[in-house]
């Protein structure tokens, strides 16, 4: 073998070579005469070494034994002895036989054959053939690929196709739980052996496929398997970002049922580790502090897969872990505030797992702590100046006249910007009474109704989508839009559900960015919106633009339009260029996507920028908190408007009675009628009684819904006090009469029956 060494580095002369003893009468330079093990022998040796726990391919596999060879010094003094012979200096005929990656064994068992084996075993009681299949398949990552990969040695290096026969995997796992205990144990032992192997270097796609198969194992529902499950999750969580990208897209392709089962197993694992029913079944928390972080990181891959799916595979609320409602989430939040997304784990790093209840509580407590700090400083200043301390300093006191409701509210909130995070108290001038919550809610209801009335001009009502949108008219003062934003923020902070009908993109814009920029010139609310967002506001226009995008003819000749659009403002039609010189740029087949995107951006961002910027700053003047970074746009909507999911059974369990008891005939008839109502009438009942057809974040229990008796003739219709979430029922004698009167009242509630 010729070693390429320079004169300076070589410690011996060329003539010294003759003094070296022969190497078994063979020379590596004479490749064809070298006795090299056959291919089958090589694989056999490799497999033997794998079973013994070694994963390095050392030189004895390739080189003949050397006898009586004087030890040669290293080429360079700092090079270790074992690096003297490199694969790069081997002859081509030797290198050609070296296997770069392990060869996946060819397994020909089909799903149908496996099902037949299981059926025969079930009838005969002889499970040996099925047992052997499980024993072999789960023995290693290679065997997993051999069993479940569509083509054993095909690469399948794309995010679109994992290369795994998912149907076969599901059949094998569904059958596993019905096999004898020793078979199930053999699977777990095989997984342990696979995970304990010493892996070096980056993972291959076949390794990812093995993880993809193993994580779907249904055995991980029992705490007895959690140690194995935890190590599997740890290895998946530790994969490179590029590997996570592949897994995320493969998870996206799973059937909804299997995807949901994966989520549920991970959630159960986290819950059981936090609150074990039998602590002795699990290792001490101090020894497995990495369990929950690993599981949460893997769950984040499923959340990402769900987010990029259209429509989502499961509702985002299915990723909430409601157990976390009972932990010290404020400590978790403060740790996150202090350390951010560093290596120190917090649940706030993965906000998808936190319920809206937790996020609302974090926002409120964070604001309360800011408010308490401000109030304490105010009290200290008063005391230091020996001034009389007024406890009203602890509240945001709003005094308004009913006839000047909007202007007075605007003035009060403008003057008291420093107090917006204090608890709200409302007083109507000239009216006696303390605000125990009813006056505050009435203030919100009246103000929202007035501001959103079409005659007021701030918002337009789009009948097709049944929602409000910002008027695009220009003015010198946008303070009233700031007032609406502040109202929404105050509603969140004071747990008031508002009857506002904004499209979902408004809440996307409110979180763009989630934290108010320090530089006041930084644009806010300029979200990246799509045709789907426009569809939720202006469905007819969105449909027309969609047809433009899919039109197969000549767009320029048939549509004859340019990058100029027209908009009516206060009865005057104005034109706007979507880009410089847009009135002279025709829309063609090549640029129509750009035209549609610019048009959407103009309608939903640029044409209402000043209005929305004022609205944005008003909302964040109350809810300025890093906790907003935890929220999805849908969750902001739920905080402001409540949840659309009604559960009248839950309301029946928490309702309060005044003058009635739950066993009274009128009450029994009431619930028989209400529970039989279609959803639309149930919503009308809720709107009639509370002023909104949605449920607060905390559920029906947070409504404080009350049914009161009113001693009047049964000819009367029910009456509601929306400020107190109260409905007053006369003592109707029959279910039929109650249904008739209640239906009339709730169906004609706008401007009638409300006090």
Residues 21-41 pLDDT 10s: 443 333 333 333 333 333 333
Going from N- to C-terminal start, the domains of the chain cover: 111-319, 364-512+622-641, 531-608, 648-748
24 and 85 Cβ atoms separated by less than 8 Å? no
Cβ-defined contacts of 14-17 (< 8 Å, 24+): none
CATH class of the 648-748 domain in this structure: alpha beta
Q: Which residue has the higher pLDDT, 76 or 599?
A: 599
Cα(97)–Cα(167) distance, integer angstroms: 36
329 and 347 Cβ atoms separated by less than 8 Å? yes
Q: What pLDDT is stored for residue 103 in this prediction? A: 77
Q: What pLDDT is stored for residue 25 in this prediction? A: 37
213 and 164 Cβ atoms separated by less than 8 Å? yes
For residues 128-134, give the mean pLDDT. 96
Residues 357-373 pLDDT 10s: 999 999 888 877 877 77
Q: Which residue has the higher pLDDT, 61 or 690?
A: 690
Mean pLDDT, the chain, rounded, equals: 84
Cα(150)–Cα(745) distance, integer angstroms: 64
Cα(675)–Cα(648) distance, integer angstroms: 6
Q: What pLDDT is stored for residue 198 in this prediction? A: 57
For residue 4, pLDDT over 50 is answered with no
Q: What pLDDT is stored for residue 749 in this prediction? A: 67
What element of type H or E holds 395? strand 395-400
Q: What pLDDT is stored for residue 40 in this prediction? A: 39
Residues 704-741 pLDDT 10s: 899 999 999 999 999 999 888 999 999 999 999 999 99
Helix, strand, coil percent content, the chain, rounded in steps of 5: 55, 5, 40
Q: What pLDDT is stored for residue 245 in this prediction? A: 96
Locate tokens 């209400």: which residue? 674
Residues 385-399 pLDDT 10s: 887 777 777 788 999
Pairing of the two strands 719-721 and 726-729: antiparallel
251 and 208 Cβ atoms separated by less than 8 Å? no
481 — phi, psi (to 5°)? Answer: -70, -35
For residues 148-153, give the mean pLDDT. 88
Q: What pLDDT is stored for residue 27 in this prediction? A: 35
Q: Which residue has the higher pLDDT, 68 or 490?
A: 490
Q: Of 696, 680, 685, give the one whose Cα is nearest residue 729.
A: 685
Dihedral sign (CA 372, 378, 380, 382) = negative
Cis peptide before 513 (omega within 30 of 0): yes
Q: What pLDDT is stored for residue 104 in this prediction? A: 79
Residues 108-123 pLDDT 10s: 889 999 999 999 999 9
Q: Of 458, 380, 393, give the one whose Cα is nearest residue 421.
A: 393
Residue 340 banded pLDDT, cuts 50, 70, 90 = confident
Q: What pLDDT is stored for residue 10 in this prediction? A: 41
Q: Of 100, 207, 205, 122, give the one whose Cα is nearest residue 157.
A: 205
437 and 696 Cβ atoms separated by less than 8 Å? no
Dihedral sign (CA 691, 693, 697, 698) = positive
Gap between the terminal Cα atoms of the chain = 101
Please tell us whether the domain made up of 531-608 is placed in CATH 3.40.50.2020: no
For residue 77, pLDDT over 90 is answered with no
Distance set, CA 624 to CA 135, 334, 364, 490, 521 (Å): 58, 16, 11, 11, 18
Q: What pLDDT is stored for residue 39 in this prediction? A: 35
Q: Which CATH number fits domain 364-512+622-641: 3.40.50.720, 3.90.1750.10, 3.60.130.10, 3.20.20.330?
A: 3.90.1750.10
Q: What pLDDT is stored for residue 64 in this prediction? A: 36
Cα(610)–Cα(478) distance, integer angstroms: 7
Nearest 5°: CA angle at 153, between 148 and 159? 70
For residue 447, pLDDT over 60 is answered with yes
226 — phi, psi (to 5°)? Answer: -70, -30
Cα(161)–Cα(424) distance, integer angstroms: 56
Dihedral sign (CA 529, 535, 541, 544) = positive
Radius of gyration of the chain (CA): 36
Q: Strand, coil or helix: what is 78?
A: coil
Dihedral sign (CA 367, 373, 375, 378) = negative
Cβ-defined contacts of 459-462 (< 8 Å, 24+): 462/537, 462/538
Residue 436 banded pLDDT, cuts 50, 70, 90 = low
pTM: 0.80
Q: What pLDDT is stored for residue 116 in this prediction? A: 96
Q: What pLDDT is stored for residue 634 in this prediction? A: 95
Question: For the chain, what percent of residues have pLDDT higher than 70?
Answer: 84
Cα(90)–Cα(107) distance, integer angstroms: 34
Residue 434 banded pLDDT, cuts 50, 70, 90 = low
Residues 545-588 pLDDT 10s: 999 999 999 999 999 999 999 988 777 889 999 999 999 999 99
Residues 213-266 pLDDT 10s: 999 999 999 999 999 999 999 999 999 999 999 999 999 999 999 999 999 999
Specify the DSSP class assigned to residue 18.
G
Pairing of the two strands 423-428 and 395-400: parallel
For residues 656-677, give the mean pLDDT. 96
Cα(150)–Cα(134) distance, integer angstroms: 18
Lowest mean pLDDT of 5-14, 54-63, 627-636, 694-703, name the range.
Answer: 54-63
For residues 653-674, give the mean pLDDT. 95
Cβ-defined contacts of 668-677 (< 8 Å, 24+): 669/732, 669/734, 669/735, 669/738, 670/707, 670/729, 670/738, 670/742, 672/735, 673/735, 673/738, 673/739, 673/742, 674/648, 674/742, 675/648, 675/649, 677/648
User: Tokens standing for 722?
Assistant: 């929306």
Residue 376 banded pLDDT, cuts 50, 70, 90 = confident
Lowest mean pLDDT of 98-102, 201-205, 318-322, 365-369, name the range.
Answer: 98-102
> So which residues are the catalytic ones?
723
Residue 701 banded pLDDT, cuts 50, 70, 90 = confident
Q: What pLDDT is stored for residue 433 in this prediction? A: 66
Q: What pLDDT is stored for residue 411 in this prediction? A: 94
CA 224 to the chain's CA centroid: 29
Cα(491)–Cα(737) distance, integer angstroms: 37
512 and 527 Cβ atoms separated by less than 8 Å? yes
Q: What pLDDT is stored for residue 658 in this prediction? A: 95
Residues 6 or more apart in contact with residue 755 via CB below 8 angstroms: 719, 720, 721, 722
Q: What pLDDT is stored for residue 113 in this prediction? A: 95
Cα(156)–Cα(165) distance, integer angstroms: 12
Locate tokens 């700031």: which residue? 482
For residue 49, pLDDT over 50 is answered with no
User: Tokens standing for 678?
Assistant: 């279609």
216 and 255 Cβ atoms separated by less than 8 Å? no
Cα(58)–Cα(78) distance, integer angstroms: 21
Lowest mean pLDDT of 89-103, 511-525, 662-676, name the range.
Answer: 89-103
Distance set, CA 497 to CA 160, 623, 723 (Å): 43, 15, 11
Q: Which residue has the higher pLDDT, 439 or 549?
A: 549
Residues 609-650 pLDDT 10s: 999 999 999 999 988 888 999 999 999 999 999 998 899 999
For residue 7, pLDDT over 70 is answered with no
Q: Of 194, 97, 106, give the one whose Cα is nearest residue 153.
A: 106
Q: What pLDDT is stored for residue 356 in this prediction? A: 94
461 — phi, psi (to 5°)? Answer: -105, 120
Locate tokens 């404080």: which residue? 704
What element of type H or E holds 7? none
């Amino acid at each position: 073998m010729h070693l390429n060494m320079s004169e300076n580095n070589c410690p011996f002369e060329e003539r010294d070579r003759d003094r070296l003893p022969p190497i078994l009468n063979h020379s590596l330079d004479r490749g064809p005469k070298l006795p090299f093990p056959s291919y089958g022998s090589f694989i056999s040796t490799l497999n033997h070494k794998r079973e013994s726990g070694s994963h390095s391919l050392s030189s004895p596999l390739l080189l003949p034994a050397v006898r009586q060879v004087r030890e040669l010094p290293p080429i360079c003094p700092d090079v270790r002895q074992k690096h003297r012979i490199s694969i790069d200096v081997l002859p081509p005929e030797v290198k050609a036989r070296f296997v770069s990656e392990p060869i996946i064994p060819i397994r020909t068992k089909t799903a149908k054959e496996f099902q037949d084996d299981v059926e025969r075993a079930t009838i005969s009681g002889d499970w040996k053939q099925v047992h052997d299949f499980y024993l072999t398949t789960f023995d290693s990552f290679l065997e997993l690929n051999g069993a479940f990969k569509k083509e054993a040695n095909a690469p399948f290096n794309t995010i679109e196709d994992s290369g795994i026969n998912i149907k076969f995997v599901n059949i094998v796992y569904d059958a596993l739980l019905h096999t004898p205990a020793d078979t199930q144990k053999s699977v777990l032992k095989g997984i342990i052996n696979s995970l304990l192997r010493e892996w070096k270097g980056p993972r291959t796609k076949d390794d990812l496929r093995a993880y993809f198969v193993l994580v779907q194992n249904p055995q991980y529902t029992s705490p007895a398997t959690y140690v194995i499950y935890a190590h599997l999750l740890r290895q998946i969580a530790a994969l490179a970002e590029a590997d996570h990208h592949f897994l995320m897209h493969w998870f996206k392709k799973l059937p909804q049922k299997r995807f949901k089962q994966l989520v549920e197993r991970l959630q159960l694992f986290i819950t059981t580790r936090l609150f074990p029913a039998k602590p002795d079944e699990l290792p001490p928390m101090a020894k497995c502090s990495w369990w929950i972080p690993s599981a949460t990181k893997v769950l984040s891959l499923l959340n990402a897969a769900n987010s990029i799916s259209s429509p989502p595979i499961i509702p985002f609320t299915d990723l909430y872990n409601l157990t976390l409602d009972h932990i010290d989430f404020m400590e978790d939040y403060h740790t996150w505030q202090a350390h951010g997304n560093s290596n120190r784990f917090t649940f706030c790093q993965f906000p998808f797992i936190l319920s809206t209840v937790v996020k609302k509580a974090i926002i409120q407590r964070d604001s309360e702590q800011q408010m308490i700090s401000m109030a304490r400083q105010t009290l200290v200043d008063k005391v230091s100046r020996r001034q009389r301390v007024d406890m009203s300093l602890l509240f945001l006191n709003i005094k308004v006249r009913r006839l000047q409701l909007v202007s007075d509210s605007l003035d009060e909130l403008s003057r008291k910007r420093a107090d917006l995070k204090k608890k709200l108290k409302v007083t109507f001038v000239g009216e006696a009474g303390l605000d125990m919550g009813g006056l505050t809610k009435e203030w919100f209801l009246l103000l929202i109704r007035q501001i959103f009335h079409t005659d007021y001009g701030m918002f337009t009502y789009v009948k097709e989508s049944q929602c409000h949108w910002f008027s695009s008219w220009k003015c010198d003062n946008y303070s009233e839009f700031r007032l609406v934003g502040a109202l929404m923020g105050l509603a969140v902070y004071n747990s008031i559900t508002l009857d506002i009908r904004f499209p979902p993109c408004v809440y996307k814009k409110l979180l763009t960015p989630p934290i108010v920029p320090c530089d006041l010139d930084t644009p806010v609310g300029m979200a990246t919106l799509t045709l789907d967002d426009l569809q939720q506001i202006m469905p007819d226009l969105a449909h027309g633009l969609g047809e433009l995008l899919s039109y197969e003819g000549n767009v320029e000749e048939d549509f004859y339009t340019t990058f100029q659009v027209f908009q009516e403002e206060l009865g005057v039609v104005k034109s706007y260029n979507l880009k410089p010189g847009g009135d002279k740029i025709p829309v063609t087949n090549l640029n129509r996507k750009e035209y549609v995107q610019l048009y959407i951006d103009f309608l939903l961002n640029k044409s209402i920028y000043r209005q929305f910027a004022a609205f944005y700053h008003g909302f964040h003047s109350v809810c300025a908190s890093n906790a907003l970074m935890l929220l999805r746009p849908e969750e902001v909507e739920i905080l402001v408007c409540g949840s659309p999911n009604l559960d009248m059974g839950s309301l029946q369990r928490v309702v309060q009675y005044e003058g009635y008891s739950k066993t009274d005939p009128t009450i029994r008839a009431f619930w028989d009628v209400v529970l039989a109502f279609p959803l639309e009438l149930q919503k009308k009942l809720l709107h009639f009684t509370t002023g909104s057809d949605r449920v607060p974040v905390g559920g029906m229990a947070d409504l404080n819904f009350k049914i009161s008796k009113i001693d009047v003739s049964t000819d009367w219709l029910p009456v509601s006090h929306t400020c107190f979430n109260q409905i007053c029922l006369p003592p109707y004698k029959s279910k039929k009469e109650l249904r008739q009167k209640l239906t009339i009242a709730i169906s004609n509630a706008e401007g009638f029956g409300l006090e």
